[in-house]
Structure 1
Amino acid sequence: MKLINKFSNFYMHLAILLMLASFAACTPDDNEFTLGPTPTSEMVQFSTTPSTGNPNIIEFKNETPGTIKAIWDFGNGSTGEGNQVSNPYPVQGNYTVKLTVFTKDGYTSNTKTVSIASTDVTMLNREDYNFLTGGASNTTGKTWVIDKDFVGHMGVGPIASATPDWWQAPANDKAGQGLYNDEMTFNLNGFAYTYDNKGDTFVNGGNAAGLGGTNQTDDYTLNHTPPANMVWSMVEEGGKKYLVISQRGFIAYYTGSSRYEVLKLTENELYLKTTDAANAANGWWLRLIPKGYTRPVEPKPYKIVDIQDNFDTEGTVVWKKDALTLNESYDNPAPFPINNSAKVAMYAKQEGQAYAFANMFADFDHKLDITNRNIFKIKVFIPGYNDFTTENGESWAIKTLLRQVSIKLQDGSAPEPWVNQVEVKQAVNVLDKWVELTFDFSPYAERKDLDRVVIQVGGEGNYIPGVFFLDDFRLEK
């Protein structure tokens, strides 16, 4: 019995020692549910040293023990991150620099004043500054606007992507949203930034609360007065250049960010990417041009291509419609010679003035070379149940529905493409039967400005409805 008691006492003491040892091994660092006291501002220390090469460039070093993360506000609209950073101060003055440090026990900030004795004009005479502001001689600054006519003037995609992969705005896509009349002026004098938004701003719906609005699913226009006395700054971090706006300012479209990566900056283009405050995975792209600048249009190539569509298989043209109901895969209403095709196009013109110029058309990414190939052919079926006798239409037009097919070639880039169009019309004298029509454009073979093909059935200027069927449209070889 004594031997057993000795062993029992031994194991009891051993268990107690192991328990004490396990408690001793648990330090505050191991306990994720316990924080020490919040650091005080006095604990935040950093040094400021003028660069040996230029006293207007200040080197900053965080000297706060236990720092996990260091965030800098350099007092001139620029920000930075890291324990050792630098920031340029081209202009004379006093700047309040704030360092915010994060430790395992919390975060806090401290400030110092950096005094710059004199302005370094050589630092102001930079290509990017001059492109952005117009240079020191441009005392009123340089005003930029959204490049609304350029496809991709706005875009969204993964923030890590080089391009807006998810969506790019078509030309003039946000007309009436309070975006295209905004003017952003950058001035080298005092690095002033002025945002003239004409009283309203187009906002990202998910971030609207940051501007005093209500967060919504869709973007919308919000009444907003931009802050006065904003400044801009250009900083370089990690091999990238950023344009930063002070006072939480922004450029044209509000996403909750005041910091923009500069993707391209030339005399006539400013291309930016910024973050989405509501969704860190999203990036937003903006493309701007100087106010009053017109982007030159790259000329389209001039070439000959196959143009055909039988409406059974995929053709070489993409049809658009203007005030027209178009079904490109309709059962052939009369599958007999000369057209046994299973599918045809149904061309339906509705009644009323709004449909007086109904047509279908196709735009090409090149100018049409019709020097040697200039004969278009098409099969058409005109039902006899259409009303060809009632008169109603424009005063200058034939007011009845016409038994007619017209093919027009236009310059689709022209403000009024119909002014310089060329047109060939063919009357159809047989109803309820397929006929093939030929359109000879050889008299216009020397034209080199045509990039649109228009098909119009029933005439134009009349308000009479009509249903027609088309097939086997082609440019003859």
Structure 2
Amino acid sequence: MKRIHIYSLILLAATVYACKPYEKDIKPESNASIKLDFTVTQTPGYDNQVTLKSDTKGAIPYWDYVFGGTNQKDAVVVMPFAGDWYIKFFAYGAATPKYDSVKVTVSQNDPYYFSSKYWNLLTNGAAGKTWVWAMDAPDNSYYGVGPGDSPTPTWWVPSVSEFTGYGVVNDEMTFDLDKGLNYRLLHAGATTKANFALDTLNMTLKISGADISQGEKVTYNILKLTSDELSLVQQGDGWRKFWHFKRKGFIF
């Protein structure tokens, strides 16, 4: 079957859920001649994959499956995140569609979409992972500018006292895969919630709705991502700007 993966967007499941065709009372303004007839079936052993099938007559179907939508009569879609979700079915035969929904339970994040080790290194899955500034890095590489091919900011690094004056030294960044690509920035006692996109092929990171601590609101190249270190750069023409973070609690 064709798999449709959403966004940027893992695991073997045992739960199987199937919805039998049925009708439901509708509001007076709805098209009463339409009789809803559809099924929603999860794949045994891989309940992230869901087969949608409509046998509703005399109407144009539309499926809203949380992470996307389709007007195909029959479709196979993927729910990338674990949780309880409602798949909505709309049958358009008049100005007001007839509507119903089915609840599905996805047992784990999609194992195929999140197969790269870098997802877990960055986020620790649904549990989340918090990153702080690597102020104790032995190479003094927490922030600065250097040559375009350099692993460290050799041209300029602010002193600890200067950097502390920026007001970001106690910032915390948390990534998680709990029902979404979630990002939180804790700065000056306030938390900003946003989303992120991780490209594990090109090794880039983009924050939407916020930014990394002391960031430039760009797509960052990932220079290093291990269980304990996250090093990002803004790549310029012959230069790089560096951000070096560490797992909260880790000591060099």
Matched, 1:253 2:241: no
Distance 1:181 1:289, change over 3 A: same
What residue in structure 1 maps to residue 150 of structure 2? 162
Decide whether aligned partners of structure 1 residues 273 and 116 sit closer, same or farther in structure 2, where only a CA change above 3 A counts.
farther
Pick the aligned partner of 2:135 from 118, 126, 148. Answer: 148
Alignment match of 1:231 (pick from 187, 190, 195): 195
The partner residue of 1:262 within 218, 222, 228 is 222
Counterpart of 2:250 in structure 1 is 293
Q: Distance in 2 between matches of 1:152 and 1:236?
A: 24
TM-score of the pair, normalised by structure 1: 0.30
Distance 2:120 2:161 in 1: 29
Letter in 2 for 1:270: L
What residue in structure 2 maps to residue 185 of structure 1? 174
Q: Are residue 283 (structure 1) and residue 244 (structure 2) matched?
A: no
- Note the alpha carbon deviations across 1:342-384, whole angstroms, 9 max, x for none: xxxxxxxxxxxxxxxxxxxxxxxxxxxxxxxxxxxxxxxxxxx
- 1:273–1:283 contact (8 Å) kept in structure 2: yes
Is 1:268–1:293's contact at 8 Å kept on the other side of the alignment?
A: yes
Q: Determine helix, strand or coil for the equivalent of 2:120.
A: helix
SS at match of 1:130: helix
- 8 Å contact kept, 2:149–2:239: no
Q: Distance in 2 between matches of 1:165 and 1:251?
A: 22
Q: CA deviation at 1:165?
A: 3.7
Matched, 1:93 2:93: no
1:129 equivalent in structure 2: 119
Structure 1: gaps (5+ residues) = 1-49, 59-73, 77-89, 97-114, 200-224, 296-477
Deviation at 1:188, TM superposition (A): 1.4
Say which SS state the counterpart of residue 128 (structure 1) adopts. helix
TM-fit CA distance, 1:94: 2.9
Secondary structure at 2:169 match in 1: coil
Query: 1:135/1:256 Cα in 2 relative to 1: closer, same or farther (>3 Å)?
Result: closer
CA deviations on 1:238-278 (whole Å, 9 max, x unpaired) are xx30111112x211113242x211111111111111257xx
- Using the TM superposition, give the Cα deviation of residue 168 of structure 1 relative to its aligned residue in structure 2, in angstroms: 3.3
Query: Partner of 2:67: helix, strand, or coil?
Result: strand
Q: Aligned residues, how many?
A: 161
Structure 2 distance, partners of 1:245, 1:154, is 19
Letter in 2 for 1:269: E
- TM-score (normalizing by structure 2): 0.53
Q: Which has the higher contact order (CA 8 A, sep 6+)?
A: 2
Distance 1:94 1:197, change over 3 A: same
Q: C-alpha displacement at 1:125, in angstroms?
A: 5.0
Structure showing the higher helix proportion among its residues: 1
Matching of residues 291-370 of structure 1 within 5 Å: 291-295=248-252
Displacement, 1:124? 2.8
1:177 to partner: Cα distance = 2.0
SS at 1:167's partner residue? coil
Instruction: Quote the Cα distance in structure 1 between the aligned partners of 2:229 and 2:161.
Output: 17
Change (3 A) 1:268 1:243: same
Counterpart-to-counterpart distance in 2, 1:231 and 1:131: 17
Percent of aligned pairs with the same amino acid: 28
**TM-fit CA distance, 1:56:** 3.9
Q: Could you tell me whether the CA contact under 8 Å between 1:149 and 1:172 is conserved in 2?
A: no
Tell me whether 1:273 sits opposite 2:233 in the alignment. yes
Aligned equivalents of 1:283, 1:226: Cα separation in 2 = 28
Listed one character per residue, the Cα deviations across residues 13-65 of structure 1 (whole Å, up to 9, x for unaligned) are xxxxxxxxxxxxxxxxxxxxxxxxxxxxxxxxxxxxx9x6xx1447xxxxxxx
Written as runs of structure 1 = structure 2, the 5 A alignment for 1:21-32 is none
Given that residues 153 and 169 in structure 1 are in contact (C-alpha distance below 8 angstroms), is that contact kept between their aligned partners in structure 2? no
1:75 & 1:188 partners in 2: Cα distance? Answer: 12
Bigger radius of gyration: 1
Match of 1:19 in 2: none
CA distance in 1, matches of 2:150, 2:238: 13
CA distance in 2 between counterparts of 1:266 and 1:135 reads: 14
Q: Which amino acid aligns with 1:94?
A: F
Q: What RMSD in Å do the two structures reach over aligned CA positions?
A: 3.3
Secondary structure of the residue that 1:287 maps to in structure 2? strand
Displacement after TM superposition at 1:149 (Å): 2.1
How far residue 292 of structure 1 moved from its aligned partner, in angstroms, is 2.0
Summarize the Cα distance change of 1:286–1:172 in structure 2 as closer, same or farther, 3 Å threshold: farther
Cα distance change of structure 1 residues 290 and 236 upon mapping to structure 2, 3 Å threshold: closer
Q: Given that residues 144 and 183 in structure 1 are in contact (C-alpha distance below 8 angstroms), is that contact kept between their aligned partners in structure 2?
A: yes
Consecutive unaligned residues of structure 2, counting only runs of 5 or more, are 10-47, 50-64, 70-75, 81-108
